[in-house]
Amino acid sequence: MSVDLEKILRPVDTPLPKFPAKYMTLANGQEMVVRQAERDEIPDILPHVEPLIHVERDFYNIVAARLYSELLAYYTYRVQDEYVLVAQIDGELAAIVNGRSVSPDVGMSYHTFSLRRGLRVGAHAFATKMEYHIDILKQKEVLIVAESGIGFRRWMIEYNLEKRFHIPHELGGCPSWSLTKELFDKARNTLVVGRRPVPEHLLAKAKAGILPPSDPPKGPEDLLAATRSMLDSTATSLIEMRRKQGGKIQ
Ligand SMILES: CC(C)(COP(=O)(O)OP(=O)(O)OC[C@H]1O[C@@H](n2cnc3c(N)ncnc32)[C@H](O)[C@@H]1OP(=O)(O)O)[C@@H](O)C(=O)NCCC(=O)NCCS
């Protein structure tokens, strides 16, 4: 009985081509591998997303909450045609990107989540996910939204995305923007980096396991600056945030 119900609840995924892993050299000289995360690796990723649900800075909280649910939906077969890519530096989780195939022509970008700041790892991971949609899935456009100012600068401005405001995006029904194949082609020589094949030792290290990020984003350290930026003169919301993090942030 329960097995039959599970069959009804579980959408049947369309077989999609796998993302061929690639690697790139970051500004600090480190090599970053981007590869497809298998469904059974999701439990290794979730613990690194969960703490950021309580970090308000740069909208990590809403993005972490939504991403957590999307990863869980993927793991438990409660979303159709989702994929997840992970970026790793020396095995450490550096960024997560995910999305979904809506139709043979249209992709839906879900989230880009950087766990290592200041190296454009999020920007590189986003470009890689667009490459997956346009070059591997051969889609004509990808629908995108931004939840943060940094995201808006990185995607809408840097790629000069086109408005598709008549199409509600799956993320909260917000008006969509579109990266078309033509826009992606224009960005190829500047924003899209990386090489293939990934050297054996780099790929083996990445596949050996998803290691915790050594320097993940944290909440603000300066209480005064933080309360000012949050228009929270009593610091109530900041104190609440720190309480929830269980003292993980000093
Ligand atoms: C948006 C995002 C993926 C971009 O990742 P990224 O390309 O690796 O860029 P970073 O976040 O490290 O840096 C963005 C900018 O903030 C600056 N910055 C902010 N905090 C920083 C920190 N702690 N250390 C270093 N730089 C920092 C960087 O210098 C950079 O400036 P630039 O745009 O002039 O280059 C990432 O900021 C992120 O995950 N944000 C939270 C979730 C989110 O908003 N996702 C996108 C949803 S639309």
- Residue-wise pLDDT tens digits, 2-33: 679 999 999 999 999 999 999 999 999 999 99
The tens digit of pLDDT for each residue in 59-78 reads 999 999 999 999 999 999 99
What pLDDT, on the 0 to 100 scale, is given for residue 219?
Answer: 75
Flag whether pLDDT at 236 surpasses 80: no
Flag whether pLDDT at 52 surpasses 90: yes
- What is the average per-residue pLDDT within 89-96? 98
Number of neighbours of residue 47 by Cβ within 10 angstroms:
11
What pLDDT, on the 0 to 100 scale, is given for residue 16?
Answer: 96
Q: Hey, whose CA ends up nearest to atom 44 of ligand 1?
A: 148
Ligand 1 atom nearest 153 alpha carbon: 33
Compute the distance between CA of residue 115 and CA of residue 229 in angstroms, rounded to an integer: 22
Mean pLDDT value across the chain: 93
CATH 3.40.630.30 domain locations along the chain: 9-218
Global model pTM greater than 0.85: yes
Distance 9 CA to ligand 1 centre (A): 37
Residues with CB under 6 A from ligand 1: 58-60, 63, 111-114, 117-118, 120-123, 146-148, 150-151, 153-154
What percentage of the chain reaches a pLDDT higher than 70? 91
Higher pLDDT, 39 or 54: 39
Higher pLDDT, 100 or 250: 100
Ligand 1 atom nearest 150 alpha carbon: 1
Among all chains, which residue has been given the structure tokens 């480190």? 30
Nearest Cα neighbor of 38 from 6, 90, 75 is: 75
Q: Give the neighbor-by-neighbor strand order of the sheet with 82-89.
A: 22-25, 31-36, 82-89, 92-101, 106-114, 141-144, 175-180, 162-168
Ligand 1 atom nearest 155 alpha carbon: 48
The domain 9-218 having CATH identifier 3.40.630.30: the answer here is: yes
